[in-house]
Amino acid sequence: MLIDDKIIFRIHELIESGNSLRRGNEIGQQLSNKHGELCNAWMAPAENIVQMVCPNPDNAYRKRVNEITRSSGLMIPSRVGVFTDLLSNLLIDIDQGLLRSVIDRVRAEVFDDFLDHAEFYYKDGRKNEAGVIAGVVFEDTIRKICDKKTIAQKGVKLDELISGLAKAEVISQTKAKRARASAHVRTKATHAQWDEFALEDVKATIDFTRELISNNLDS
């Protein structure tokens, strides 16, 4: 499952659980203390997902969430209902591509986190661990770039994707050569063929993947 797919799946989960929690008594208040606790517990992950998708605090969704979560009291099921409707609208905007650049930034931040781990292992001389992480992130980065450039990637081999990006002039032939070197690290590391790549190959993969993210996803 792709990273943005996981975000969308989580929003669907929150909408489903939010719809079950939004039902209060005849005047909209919580049905019990337990009901109120569940509503309050739901608020945190719901707020977190909006912050992930909309990192700018001045974003309209973020501002509305701040208004919803600022309130308190027995009417919390009603606030869960309002929040749930907001998440539904957020999904529509994502589906229509209105938040694509935001999703790209979220994706880039997550990839950077993984690459930081790979860098740590590299500096510690742990070639195998660094190679596995760097290789996987490299391939996922290539596939995300293909998605963004509307190049079909599902079921397509990594080397073919690199050729496709070069043909579409998303990357140069020189970068395509570097990409194939990184693809080699990805293949050998994930198949535990540790003797087939060197520590410096891993470093080159980390650096090139960061470059790809910066040029194609982090904007």
Please report the pLDDT score of residue 101 as a whole number: 55
Dmax (CA) for the chain in angstroms is 69
Q: Work out how many domains the chain is built from and give that number.
A: 2
CA distance between the termini of the chain: 23
- From 60, 95, 130, the end of a domain falls on 95
Q: Are residues 38 and 77 in the same domain?
A: yes
Please report the pLDDT score of residue 3 as a whole number: 44
pTM: 0.54
Q: Please, what are the averages of pLDDT over each run of 10 residues along the chain (219 residues)? A: 70 94 89 92 92 82 90 87 94 73 55 79 90 90 89 90 94 95 94 93 94 82
CATH (domain of 155): 1.20.120.330
Q: Are residues 62 and 106 in the same domain?
A: no
Please report the pLDDT score of residue 1 as a whole number: 38
Give CA angle at 76 (15, 7), nearest 5°. Answer: 25
